[in-house]
Amino acid sequence: MISFEFATATRIIFGAGSVAQVAPAARQMGARALLIDGTGAGIVERVAHDLAGQGIDVLRYKARGEPTVEGVQAATDQARETGRDLVIGVGGGSAMDTAKAVAALLANGGEPLDYLEIVGRGKALSRPSAPCIAVTTTSGTGAEVTRNAVVASKAHAIKASMRSPTMYVRLAVVDPELTLGVPPAVTANTGLDALTQLIEPFVCDRANPLTDGYCREGMARAARSLRRAFEHGHDAAAREDMALASLLGGLALANAGLGAAHGLAAPIGGEFPGPHGALCARLLPPVMAANVQALSQRAPESAGLARYDEVARILTGNAGARAADGVAWVVELGRALNVPPLSAYGVGAADLPALAEKGAAASSMKANPIRLTHAEIVAILEQAL
């Protein structure tokens, strides 16, 4: 029997020019905004100007790199000290995750380590977050519609999540025009992260009919437009496809789950300076291949194996494609988009056994379509090295 739960942001606005709706919506939520700036473009200046025009007092906070325990705490301290009642994150996943974490801490008190999974103190976020708006300027993370915030703990050398259904934002704004100036390397990393976040929820053991629809639609759009967006960054149709693919991936992962690519990216990103999207991009092909092999050997009748065949058909556009063809397609896409190996970030062969152990314990690994052995996980890392 089918049984599932689905939840998402209170309101989602998608479309060219939709950033203009941020300030009027914000006026209904608060009067003193902490604006998390995760982009170097003029987008944040525009949002700040629009907010001021609505009579909202704005305090800017620059998000530098991916969120850390220390950075989230610093932003929260500023918000508390200045009486902020609204948090707005503008940028990629880092800015949006910072905003969601700060909004949760404003409402619940305490510090990030009180609530972080795996390395935290295990407290639950029981109160709804302070009003929060997420404005995405890249197409990859889907963080505007997820119920968690990924935060790096340098002391534990790992990235973990603050996670709760109370962390969904009040408003998610996805304006494809904001992505037209994104550089090719960022387009590649975020776009392959989006593709990973469409494939993993589709093949995972928590997939459901709602998320399946999002994944199928998103994979088809990413397959036809990711390379085009990389090669022709001002192609509006390609950017729209990727913005929607990213949003659909966020909706899917938040309500189904992920898998080994994200499970391994978390500990690697905690120890080495690789961007999350780039790590997922490198890990996706060997994870797909390992899952297909393990399912073929240990669970040949599983739904997961049939789903990898469907992934291949969607990606290649070939009605007769099988799982191996999908793996080959993703490998070739990675080559075309110049995805660097893990060794480019300082990962070495001696690091792999420990990374495999940490990856096996990651929350994302729990939904992988089959439990991988330690040897299989190490082999994935060796191929990605």
DSSP string, 293-312: HHHHHH-TT-HHHHHHHHHH
- The model's pLDDT over 85-113, given as tens digits with 9 standing for 90+, comes to 999 999 999 999 999 999 999 999 999 99
Under a CB-based contact definition with an 8 Å cutoff, are residues 281 and 197 in contact? no
How many residues appear in the chain? 385
What mean pLDDT, rounded, does the chain reach?
95
In 3-state terms the chain splits into helix, strand, coil percentages (rounded to 5) of: 60, 10, 30
Of 247, 250, 227, give the one whose Cα is nearest residue 176: 247
CATH number for region 11-178: 3.40.50.1970
Would the pLDDT of 28 be above 70?
A: yes
Cα(25)–Cα(221) distance, rounded to whole angstroms?
29
Strand partners, 38: 91
DSSP class of residue 180 equals T
Would the pLDDT of 120 be above 90?
A: no
Cα(82)–Cα(76) distance, rounded to whole angstroms?
10
Under a CB-based contact definition with an 8 Å cutoff, are residues 172 and 333 in contact? no
Three-state secondary-structure class, residue 68: strand
Chain region(s) in the chain for CATH 1.20.1090.10: 183-384
At 375, the pLDDT band (50, 70, 90 cuts) reads: very high
Under a CB-based contact definition with an 8 Å cutoff, are residues 164 and 147 in contact? yes
Cα(224)–Cα(328) distance, rounded to whole angstroms?
16
In the chain, the DSSP E strands lie at: 11-14, 32-38, 57-62, 86-91, 132-136, 148-153, 158-163, 171-174
Residue 156 confidence (pLDDT): 86
Q: What is the mean pLDDT of residues 344-365?
A: 95
Token pair 């300082």 in the structure block, residue: 346
Residue 39 confidence (pLDDT): 83
Residue 265 confidence (pLDDT): 95
Residue 153 main-chain phi, psi, to 5 deg: -105, 105
Write the burial class of residue 320 (CB in 10 Å: 0-12 exposed, 13-18 middle, 19+ buried). Answer: exposed
Token pair 């939840």 in the structure block, residue: 7
Angle of CA points 144, 147, 148, to nearest 5°: 95
Token pair 């800015």 in the structure block, residue: 95
Chain region(s) in the chain for CATH 3.40.50.1970: 11-178
Reading the block at residue 316, the tokens are 């290649």
Under a CB-based contact definition with an 8 Å cutoff, are residues 6 and 254 in contact? no
Lowest mean pLDDT among 158-162, 229-233, 262-266: 158-162
Decide yes or no: CATH 1.20.1090.10 for domain 183-384: yes
Reading the block at residue 149, the tokens are 């915030």
Question: pTM of the full predicted structure?
Answer: 0.95
Amino acid at the residue 241: D
